[in-house]
Chain A
Amino acid sequence: MEIREAVPHRRARSLALAGVAFFFGLWCLLSYAGLVPDVILPSPTEVVRAFPVLHFEEALVRSAGWSLYRVTMGFLLAAAVAIPLGILMGTFPPIRHFFAPILDPLRFLPISALVPLTIVWFGIEEMQKVMFLFMGTVVYLLPLVVDAVAKVDTVYLQTATTLGASRWQAVRHVLIPGSLPAIGDALRVMNGIGWTYVILAEVINARYGLGALITVAGKRSHVDQIFALVVVILAIGMVTDQVIRLVNQKLFFWKE
C-alpha cells in the first residue's frame, strides 16, 4: 500500500464488499459461536426474524417514512439557514466575528437539554421534532460552510478583482462556485447527524418513528428488535448518502 495511492474503481468496490463481508462474518462468529451471549448481541437469524413482527405489528415502514421525513426536513431547514449565513460569514469576516462567540460554543451543547425548550417553543407535534433536528444539525453545518468559503484559493479572488469584478460579482462568480463542492460534501456528512439524534427527536408524542420504536423495544427488553431497527437506520443512511453523493456529482461537476 502506498500513501494516497490511486485505487481503481473496480478494486474500490471489491474492497468495500470485502469490508462488509468481514464485519458481517465477525458478527456471525461472535453470535453463533456464543462468544457474546445472545441477550446482548442477537444473531443475524434472530434479527431477521424480528422483521416480520416489526412489519406487521409495529408499522415499521410507516415509522421509517416518518423518521425519514423528520430527518430530511430538519436537514433541509438547516441547509437553508446555514448555507446563506455561512457564505456571508465566510465572505465578510466582520459578520463572522459578530456571530462566532454564540455559534461556536453551541457545538458543545448537550443537545438533550434542548428537548424541554423545544416543547415550550414548538409544541409536541411534528414541528417540535423537525426543529429539534434542525438545531442539532445546523450548529455543525454552519462552521463547515464558513470553512468551505474561507478555503477558496485567494488566487481566484485576486484574478477576478484584477479582471475588474465588482464585490458582488466576486462573490457570485468566485466564492460561491468555489465553495459549493465542499459545501456539498459537508451536507453529505451532516445528513448522518440527524439520524444519530432520531431517538432524542422522537421522545415525545411520536405515533410513528424508528426512534420511538427503539425506545419501546428497550422497555420490553427486545434486543433483537433494537438491532433490526438499527439495521434499518443504517440502510436508510447508506441509501441517502449515495443519493446525496450522486446529486453532488451532477450539480458540482466542476469540482475536479
Chain B
Amino acid sequence: MARQLTPLGRVLLVVCGLALIGYGLYRYGVLDRLAGVLAPDRKQEGTVTREDFGAVAPGTAPSPAAAKGALAGGSRLARPIKVAIVTWGGYAGGIVANNGFAPNRECLFHRDYGIQVELLVIDDFEKSRDAFRVGGDKGGVDIMWSTVDAYALEYGGLRRLDPKAILQYDWSRGGDAIAVDASIRSVADLRGKKMAVAEATPSHYFALYVLTQGGLTNRDVQWVFTSSAVEAANVFKAGQVDAAVSWSPDVYIAARERTGARILASTKEASNLIADIFVARGDFLAEHPEDARRFVAGWLKGVEQANANPDRTATLLARSFSGIGLEDAKGMLADVKLPDYSETRAFFEPQGSLANYHSIFKTAQGIWRRIGKISETYEPYQTVDTRFLEASGEFFPAAGPAKAEFEFKAPPRPAAAAILTKTVSVYFPTGSATLDENAKAVLETQVVELAATFGSAYLRIAGNTDDVGSRETNLRLSRARAEAVTQFLVSKGFERNKFDVVGHGPDKPVASNATEEGRARNRRTDFEVIPR
C-alpha cells in the first residue's frame, strides 16, 4: 500500500540522508580536506631552540654599508621635533635635556643645541605607530620609541617610511620580568606550564630567550597570549596561569600579590637583551639632518646629567609623568641603564659591544620568522643610521672606548640557585683539557652570547665526566676543562670574576653510565646563570 509521506517525514528523511553523507565525508577525510581549503589553519609555527639565538655570534656581523656621508643638505626645522615615548624611566636623558615634556626655550636642548623638542607620552603601542605613520608635519611624530626586537618585527610593515634607528636610550634592567608560582624553581620547571605573555612584544622575545637557554623550546610551554603586558600580569594575578611575562611595575605587583609567587628571571640578569631605541622617519632625517644630530647630541648630554644627579632626575620624572610619585620614579630609574655616548656608539658597531644592535636585530628577526610573524628579512645595517651619532662626537671629546659595566668582586655564593642551566657538549680529546677549533666554535655560538646577554649575572661553569677512569682523575680533569672554557671566555673580553669554575667529575650524571649514549650525555659542561 503506497502511502504519502507527511512533510515532517520528508524532512526527517532528508536530514537522515544528509547526516549519512556528512558522516561518510568525515569518515574518509573529505571534510578535513575541505576545511583545509575553505578554512585553513594557521601556518604551522616552527620550533625555536637555543640554536636560533647562538646563530649570530657577536662581532661577526658584516661591516655596515650604510652611507657614512656628511650631514650636508636639508633645512633646519621650524617647529619642535616630536617624539613618541611611553611611561618609562628610560627617557630620563631626554626629559632632563628638555626639562619636561613641552617644547621650551629654558632647557639644554634649546640653550646648547638650538632645537626644541616635544615629548609625547603615547602608552598605547598601536597609537604610537599611527602617530609615526602620520609624521611630525601632519600632527604625528618624527621619532618613536621601539626595542630592537620589536623593531625587527615591525620593520617590514614600516619600510615604506624608510625608518632608521638613530639612538639607543636605555637597556631594560629589570623592566621586563617573568613571574612564576611557587612550584617553579628554575626555567626547566616551566615545561608543560601555562605561561601568559603579550604576543609579538619584547616580553614574548624575552620569554623565548630564557626558555631556550634553559633547554626548552617554544613548544614546551602552553602559551596564553594576551594583547598587552598588563593583561598578562592580570591573568597571573588571578591565578589562571603558572607564569607570566610582563613589565615593571605590573609584573612585580602581580608576583607580590599572588601567594607564593616570585620573580624567576628579569632583565636585571639578562641585562643585554632588551634594548630601547629611537627610530626616526626617513623623510625627517633626509630633510632635517642637522636637527637630528642636535637631538642625538642633546639627548646624550641629558643622559650625562641624569646619570650624575639621580635624585634630581627622579624629581623631574615624577613631576613630568602623570600618576607617578617620587618613589615610583626612583623605581623606574632603577629598572633601566642609560648608556652614555661611548656605550651607545659601541652598541651600534657590528664589532662593538658583545651584545650589539646588529646581533640582536638579526637574532630577533630569525625568531619572529621562525614562529611565522614575519616573512621577509632585512640586513641590520639597512635599518639603522649612525651618522647622527658619529657626527655628535665633537660634543663628547672625553669619550673613550666603552668601559666594562659590571664589576664582579666576590665569587657567587655556592648555595645561590641558578635561574637556568644551559648544558653544552664541549668536546675534549681523551685525558686532555685543551680546546680545539671545533670546541671553540661551539663556545662562540652557544656561550659567548649567553654570557654577554646575562651581562650582570655570574656564570658557574661546571665540568662533568662519565665514570670511566678513577674519580680523582676525572674530578681534576673536569675542573681543568672548565678552567679552559673560562680562559677562552676571558679571552673574548669577559671579566675573570664573572665565572665560577667547578669540576664535578662523575658525581652529577644526567644519564646512566651503562650505555655509550648515556656516557656521552654525561660528558658535558653546564653553564649556570646565577643572579648577583
Contact = CB atoms under 8 A, between A and B. Distances in A.
B224 A204 contact: yes
A39 B42 contact: no
A111 interface: no
Nearest to B154: A221
Interface stretch (A117-125, A162-170, A174-182, A187-195): A117-125
Interface residues of A, number: 35
A220 B161 contact: no
A212 interface: yes
Contacts, number: 98
Contacts of B200: 216, 219-220
Interface in B148-180: 150, 153-154, 156-158, 160-161
A151 interface: no
A115 interface: yes
Interface stretch (A23-31, A55-63, A86-94, A134-142): A55-63
A203 interface: yes
A38 B134 CA distance: 10
A219 B153 CA distance: 8
B39 A65 contact: yes
A124 B241 contact: yes
B201 interface: yes
B260 interface: no
A16 to B, nearest CB: 29
A124 B158 CA distance: 33
A37 B162 CA distance: 14
B62 to A, nearest CB: 26
B2 interface: no
B516 interface: no
Interface in B113-134: 125-126, 129-130, 133-134
B240 interface: yes
Given A59-B41, A62-B39, A120-B238, A221 B158 contact: yes
B489 to A, nearest CB: 36
A38 B234 CA distance: 36
Given A219-B154, A221-B157, A203 B231 contact: yes
Contacts of A204: 196, 224-227, 231, 235
Contact of B39 (A59, A116, A119, A220): A59
B191 interface: no
Contacts of B129: 218, 221
Contacts of B374: 220
B133 A39 contact: yes
A56 B158 CA distance: 23
Nearest to B126: A218
A57 B158 contact: no
Most chain B beta-carbon contacts within 10 A, residue among A38, A208, A218:
A218
A183 B141 CA distance: 47
Contacts of A208: 42
Nearest to A200: B227
A62 to B, nearest CB: 5
B416 interface: no
Given A40-B133, A124-B240, A221-B157, A55 B40 contact: yes
Contacts of A212: 225, 227
Given A39-B160, A124-B241, A219-B153, A57 B43 contact: yes
B499 to A, nearest CB: 38
B42 A59 contact: yes
A240 interface: no
Given A56-B43, A212-B225, A222 B133 contact: no
Contacts of B160: 38-39
Given A39-B133, A56-B43, A61-B38, A119 B235 contact: yes
A224 to B, nearest CB: 9
17 contacts: A58-B42, A59-B40, A59-B42, A119-B238, A203-B231, A204-B235, A207-B225, A208-B42, A212-B225, A215-B126, A216-B199, A216-B200, A218-B126, A219-B153, A220-B153, A221-B158, A222-B157
Given A59-B39, A205-B224, 8 more contacts: A56-B40, A57-B372, A58-B42, A115-B234, A119-B240, A215-B199, A219-B154, A220-B373
For the complex of A and B, 10 pairs with smallest distance between CB atoms? A221-B157, A61-B39, A203-B227, A218-B126, A221-B154, A57-B43, A59-B42, A219-B200, A215-B227, A39-B133
